[in-house]
Amino acid sequence: MTTRPPITVLLASPRGFCAGVDRAIQIVERAITKYGAPVYVRHEIVHNRHVVERLKALGAVFVEELDECPTDRPVVFSAHGVPKSVPAEAKGRKMLFLDATCPLVSKVHVEAERHHDAGREIVLIGHAGHPEVVGTMGQLPDGAIALIETVADARAYAPRDPGNVAFVTQTTLSVDDTAEIVAALRTRFPEIAAPHKEDICYATTNRQEAVKAIAGRADVLLVLGSANSSNSVRLAEVGLRSGARAHLIDDADSLDFAWLEGARVVGVTAGASAPEILVQDVIDRLAERFEVSVEEVDAARETVTFKLPKVLALAGDR
């Protein structure tokens, strides 16, 4: 009988669904229950293939633009937020729409508007084309927000009035990357107005800290998440910087055992839009080849919850 080699799995905690993702998925599920199928969803509700496929099976229809939706069916806006033009168009077409924008993204929208109303020039630290960035920039008139993606962008930014600048950030960025860009902006614009609190959300920060807590001990880090999930990609980057051979995988089927050659300790985590079942599937897959012992490493405790829209709330909801 061949004995399986031992391997230790360091399980990062927290990992997986955050409060904003959980709320967004519940909004789609409850909309289908209340209004029947199909319920349309503008853009992927969250960036995870498994979540999207499960909701499709329940009766969700995912589209990229509002003009793909009939006017007699409900439409849900994704957790990433949308430009102001989208709900305006939905109202104009007399559509029933439900906004699943994460409340922490909405907070960034409010801050951007506050700066604009105060006459400041606004910098958004984020990634071009990401739906959250598109949504935030779409809160204000064209040209009101300048996008900065890199330290080089921060050094090249040329506002009309260097003494009257503010910045906001995409919520799912790496804390470390953003710190470098913010430092470059502060060096150039000492008076720059910063958010009341760091805009990078608690869940992104906590998951990155959890990766740092295990990556130094792990030979290999497996991050469950889809390639278009910004926070999942950032987790893999944090793992690499912390010394682990990090791989972003969709699910257990994406696991390449060649990555584990010579490995004795494997770190496992999941992005904020990845279901916990994917983590368990990876552990089960590892157990096919190894004698697995699991150690959960707690970096933070999360107790945050967000209310659902009143129209979908059940009697027992708070």
DSSP string, 253-293: GG--GGGGTT-SEEEEEE-TTS-HHHHHHHHHHHHTTSEEE
What Cα–Cα distance (Å) separates residue 153 from each residue in 108, 111, 137, 199, 295? 21, 22, 17, 19, 41
The answer to whether residue 261 is catalytic is no
Quick check: helix, strand or coil at residue 23? helix
Q: What is the mean pLDDT of residues 107-111?
A: 95
Q: Give CA torsion, residues 86, 115, 47, 127, to 10 deg.
A: 110
Query: Is the pLDDT assigned to residue 2 strictly greater than 70?
Result: no
Give the DSSP letter of residue 58.
H
Distance CA 275, CA 272 (A): 8
Q: Which amino acid is at 189?
A: F
Confidence of residue 315 (pLDDT cuts 50, 70, 90): very low
Q: Which amino acid is at 152?
A: A
pLDDT 10s digits, 283-312: 999 999 999 999 999 999 999 899 999 999
CA within 13 Å, CB half, 149: 5
Count of CB atoms situated within 10 Å of the CB of 86: 20
Q: Give me the CATH code for the 104-188 domain, please.
A: 3.40.1010.20
Distance CA 81, CA 77 (A): 7
Question: Which residue ranges make up each domain of the chain?
Answer: 6-17+202-298, 19-102, 104-188
Sheet containing strand 75-77, strands side by side:
60-63, 39-42, 75-77, 97-99
Q: Which residues pair with 8 in a beta bridge?
A: 265, 293
Query: Is the pLDDT assigned to residue 85 strictly greater than 60?
Result: yes
State the CATH architecture for 6-17+202-298.
3-Layer(aba) Sandwich (3.40)
pLDDT 10s digits, 170-207: 998 888 889 999 999 999 999 999 987 667 788 999 99
174: Cα separation from own chain's centroid: 11
Which one of the listed residues 64, 132, 180, 209 is annotated catalytic? 132
Quick check: helix, strand or coil at residue 51? helix
Q: Does domain 19-102 have CATH number 3.40.50.11270?
A: yes
Nearest to 299 by CA among 226, 220, 203: 203
Quick check: helix, strand or coil at residue 232? helix
Give the DSSP letter of residue 194.
P
pLDDT 10s digits, 32-78: 999 999 999 999 999 999 999 999 999 999 999 999 999 999 999 99
Distance CA 28, CA 211 (A): 30
Count of CB atoms situated within 10 Å of the CB of 159: 16
Do the domains at 6-17+202-298 and 104-188 have one common CATH topology? yes
Spatial contact of 38 and 73, defined as CB atoms under 8 Å apart: yes
Quick check: helix, strand or coil at residue 17? coil
Distance CA 89, CA 76 (A): 13
Quick check: helix, strand or coil at residue 61? strand
Res 217: pLDDT: 95
Q: Give CA torsion, residues 8, 231, 46, 317, to 10 deg.
A: 80
